[in-house]
């Protein structure tokens, strides 16, 4: 666990309860949080689990609960699909495309999306090349090299690229590109392209905008393809009531949506590379549903291949 989370937890433990009288009995509650690993690329799992325990302490102090929280990680969302009702978690946090696949089973409701920066719920993704490149369209990158940004709140860009290739009958990442590399750092994604060491980069527009503000020379790079605005991460709740004795379900939702309002909450958000949890809107996932439909007929992404490099 990082030092900042240890210190944060200690301060919360030592601080007085904020809402209820010390004489008021605490309401005991058990809450299980399921985290799908694809939504937490680049994050430490122990820190993620600790963050939710700290969140439970914050809610407990504010609302008078004694919350016992359990955090469980799943490799894939479909592992939860067939769980019997009594084993289903109260909260599920996962990437947006797996959510679309899991929601068909009817027991989760989206309540929030993770901000991609500046409290925005969606971001576009773009493929960029250097100003000296002859490439003008995605088709011009056949047999070329590409860096793909793969970090929290950007994973959906990789999915969009797969759908773009399939929709244009260009094959898969493995067959279309000479080489592709997943990067967990925006600078490592873009600079090799700027200096001519790689042919193209796939990056979230907000990430590139921030880089270009600090390094104006990057504005000479050209965009040859751009996605529609896409949601990256989804927070869901189990449709059933968690506890008939209390309103803990709504209290938990409210606390997550208000994390950005307190220093403790901001530290938790920073762990997940976000600045705010934004309320879900029904239209947020329309572009993702189009991608899901395209990929329903596409081959699955490669798990391991010589052209696919590990995230560095």
3-state secondary structure at position 202 = strand
The pTM of the full predicted model, rounded to 2 decimals, is 0.80
**Confidence (pLDDT) at 301:** 63
Dihedral sign from CA coordinates of 97, 101, 102, 103: positive
Place of tokens 């070329």: 144
CA distance 241 to 90: 9
Residue from 181, 182, 161 nearest 171 by CA: 161
CA distance 57 to 65: 8
CA distance 158 to 311: 13
Domains of the chain: 24-119+231-280 (3.40.190.10), 125-229+300-309 (3.40.190.10)
CA distance 259 to 276: 7
How big is the CA angle at 47 (ends 43 and 258), to the nearest 5 degrees? 90
CA distance 218 to 226: 17
CA distance 233 to 151: 12
pLDDT bracket for residue 304 (50, 70, 90): very low
pLDDT bracket for residue 114 (50, 70, 90): confident
Residues 224-259 have pLDDT tens digits of 999 999 998 899 999 988 776 568 888 888 888 888
Residues 33-91 have pLDDT tens digits of 999 988 887 777 888 888 888 888 888 888 888 888 899 999 989 899 888 988 999 99
């Amino acid at each position: 666990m990082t030092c900042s989370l240890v210190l944060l937890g200690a301060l919360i433990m030592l601080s007085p309860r904020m809402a209820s009288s010390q004489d008021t009995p605490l309401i005991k509650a058990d809450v299980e949080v399921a985290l799908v690993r694809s939504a937490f690329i680049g994050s430490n799992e122990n820190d993620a689990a600790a963050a939710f325990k700290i969140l439970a302490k914050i809610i407990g102090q504010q609302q008078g609960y004694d919350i016992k929280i359990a955090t469980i990680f799943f490799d894939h969302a479909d592992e939860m699909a067939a769980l019997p009702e009594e084993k289903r978690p109260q909260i599920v946090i996962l990437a947006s495309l797996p959510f679309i696949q899991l929601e068909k089973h009817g027991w989760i409701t989206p309540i929030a999306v993770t901000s991609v920066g500046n409290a925005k719920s969606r971001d576009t993704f773009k493929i960029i090349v250097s100003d000296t490149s002859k490439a003008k369209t995605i088709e011009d990158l056949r047999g070329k090299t590409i860096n793909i940004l793969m970090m929290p709140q950007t994973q959906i860009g990789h999915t969009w690229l797969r759908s773009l290739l399939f929709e244009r009958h260009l094959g898969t990442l493995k067959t279309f590109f000479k080489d592709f590399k997943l990067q967990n750092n925006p600078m490592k994604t873009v600079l090799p392209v700027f200096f001519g060491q790689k042919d193209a980069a796939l990056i979230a527009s907000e990430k590139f905008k921030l880089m270009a503000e600090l390094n104006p020379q990057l504005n000479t790079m050209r965009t040859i393809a751009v996605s529609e605005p896409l949601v990256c991460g989804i927070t869901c709740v189990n449709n059933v009531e968690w506890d008939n004795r209390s309103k803990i379900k709504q209290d938990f939702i409210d606390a997550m949506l208000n994390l950005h309002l307190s220093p403790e909450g901001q530290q938790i958000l920073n762990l997940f590379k976000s600045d705010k949890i934004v309320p879900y809107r029904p239209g947020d996932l329309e572009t993702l549903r189009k991608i899901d439909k395209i990929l329903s007929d596409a081959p699955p992404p490669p798990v391991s291949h010589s052209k696919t490099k590990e995230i560095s």
